[in-house]
Structure 1
C-alpha cells in the first residue's frame, strides 16, 4: 500500500508539472520497481553526498575567473547548494541518523580560467545528474514533509541547470547540446538511486 500511495503521489507531481498521465505512470513504475526497499534515510544520505559534491564543485568554480552574470550565477548557486547541505544534515539529525561526512572529491578538469567552458560543461553534467536523481527519488519517499523538501530542491537544481546552460551560451560554447536555450527540454529525465550513487561515486577520492 505504501508503494501504491508513493506511486500515486509521484504521478500527481509529474502530471502537475506537465507530463502526461501515461508517461508519469511509466516513470513511477520503473522507479518503484528498482527501489528494492530504499528508505527515506538512505535517500537523504545519498542526497547529502550529492549536495556536498555540488557545493564543492561550485566552490572550486570560483577559481575559474568568471565575470559578470556568469560569476553572479555561480556564486548564487554555491550559496544555495550550501543551504541544501544544511537542510539535509538538519533533517537527518532530526530523524536520529548521523549525516554522512563530506568526502574529498576529484574532477576531470582543473578549475582555472583557461578551462572556463570545461568547468561549465562539468557543472552542467552534474546538474543533469542531480535533477535526475531527485526526480527518481520522489516516488520512493514515504514522509510527506521530506517529499515536499525534495521537490523544492529539485526545482532549484533545475534552475541551476538552466543558468549553467545560459552561462555556456554567454561564453559562446559551440558544443552545447540541444537548442541554444537555457531550457532545452520539455521533460526532465529521472535516474534511479543506484544510478545516482554510481554517478556521485565517480567523483569521490578513493
Structure 2
C-alpha cells in the first residue's frame, strides 16, 4: 500500500483545530464560528496537516544543520522549486556537551523531514522560503535582546532552539489522539517524545547558565506570548525564583496550540488572516498557511 494512502481522509474538524506545532499554552480553545467555517472537514484533508508539520520541520532542520555543519538540508531532501534560506552559519561551540547535543538535534530534525517526505510521497511540499536573519532580528527586538545573533555562541544557539522546540511538542500532543490510522498514531507519539527530550534539555541548559540565560529565555517566552492572541499562553524557564523546566498543565500534561496560533508566532504577527511574514516571508507551502 502506498504510504500516502494510509493517511485517513476522514479527519474530523476537531483534529484540524487542535493540531498545532507551537509553544506552551494554558488550555485548549474552541474555534469561533468563522474559524470553524474556514477549516471545514470538506475543505481539509489529513495531507494538509502533515504538510503543515513538514513546513515546520524544514525550519528546525535548517536551523540545526546550519549551526552544526555550516550548511543546510541537501537538495535531495527539499523538493522541487524549494525556497531559499537567508541566514545561519556554523556555531563555534565552547561547551562540548552542548555541541554534541546540537549534532543530535540536527540529526533528529533531518530524520523528521525525511519521514514526512516519505509519508506524503508526491504530495510532500517543498521547503518554503525561510528567513532566519530577519525573523530572529524581529524576535530580538520584541524580546528586548540587543544585537541578538542565534549563531554567535552557545547560549544564543539554545535560545533560538527553544523558540522552535516549544513548537514541536505541543503540536504532536494535539495530533496523536486524533489520528485514525494506528501506524500514524504510533509515529506521532514517537516524534512527540523526541521533541520533548529536545525541549527539556535545551530549557535545562539555559536554566543552568544562571540569571542571564534565565532572563533571556523568559524574555523570548514573553515576546512569543504577545503574538499568539489574548491570555497567558507561555511559560519561561524560571518562575517565582524556581526552575520551570517542564511546562505542563495543572494535570501534568503537555499543552497544545492551534495551527493559527503557531502561524502567528512564526509569521511574527498578532493579526488574523495573514499568510506570510517573519521566518516565512513567502508563507508556508500547502493549504494550511493563514493565521
User: Do the two structures share a fold, i.e. TM-score over 0.5?
Assistant: yes
> Cα–Cα, structure 1 residues 169 and 55, in superposed 2: closer, same or farther, change >3 Å?
same
Among 151, 156, 178, which residue is 2:194 paired with? 156
Counterpart Cα distance in 2 of 1:198 and 1:151: 25
Among 99, 106, 123, which residue is 1:98 paired with? 123
Counterpart Cα distance in 1 of 2:150 and 2:66: 6
Aligned length: 182
Counterpart Cα distance in 2 of 1:164 and 1:2: 33
> Cα–Cα, structure 1 residues 140 and 36, in superposed 2: closer, same or farther, change >3 Å?
farther
Q: Could you state the TM-score of these two structures normalised by the residue count of structure 2?
A: 0.54
> Cα–Cα, structure 1 residues 151 and 129, in superposed 2: closer, same or farther, change >3 Å?
same
Range that drifts further, 149-158 or 62-71: 62-71
Counterpart Cα distance in 1 of 2:209 and 2:129: 30
Among 100, 112, 119, which residue is 1:72 paired with? 100
Counterpart Cα distance in 2 of 1:121 and 1:102: 23
8 Å Cα contact 1:53/1:200 also seen in 2: no
Q: CA RMSD in A?
A: 2.9
Counterpart Cα distance in 2 of 1:88 and 1:46: 10
Q: Which runs of 5+ in 1 are unaligned?
A: 11-25
> Cα–Cα, structure 1 residues 126 and 85, in superposed 2: closer, same or farther, change >3 Å?
same
Deviation at 1:57, TM superposition (A): 1.2
Matches within 5 A, 1:54-73: 54-62=60-68, 63-66=90-93, 67-73=95-101
Q: Secondary structure at the match of 2:214?
A: coil
Match of 2:262 in 1: 196
Match of 2:78 in 1: none
Counterpart Cα distance in 2 of 1:137 and 1:92: 16
Q: Secondary structure at the match of 1:103?
A: coil
Range that drifts further, 120-129 or 60-69: 60-69
Q: Deviations over 1:85-128 (max 9, x none)?
A: 111111001xxx421111232221534335x4233122112111
Q: Secondary structure at the match of 2:191?
A: helix
Q: Secondary structure at the match of 2:149?
A: coil
Deviation at 1:188, TM superposition (A): 2.0
Matches within 5 A, 1:1-206: 3=12, 27=28, 30=30, 36-37=40-41, 38-62=44-68, 63-66=90-93, 67-93=95-121, 97-107=122-132, 108=136, 109-114=148-153, 116-172=154-210, 173-175=213-215, 176=217, 177=236, 178=238, 179-180=242-243, 182-185=245-248, 186-201=252-267, 202-206=278-282
> Cα–Cα, structure 1 residues 39 and 112, in superposed 2: closer, same or farther, change >3 Å?
same
Q: Deviations over 1:46-73 (max 9, x none)?
A: 1111110110111233222223111111
Counterpart Cα distance in 1 of 2:97 and 2:109: 18
8 Å Cα contact 2:55/2:127 also seen in 1: yes
Counterpart Cα distance in 1 of 2:265 and 2:172: 13
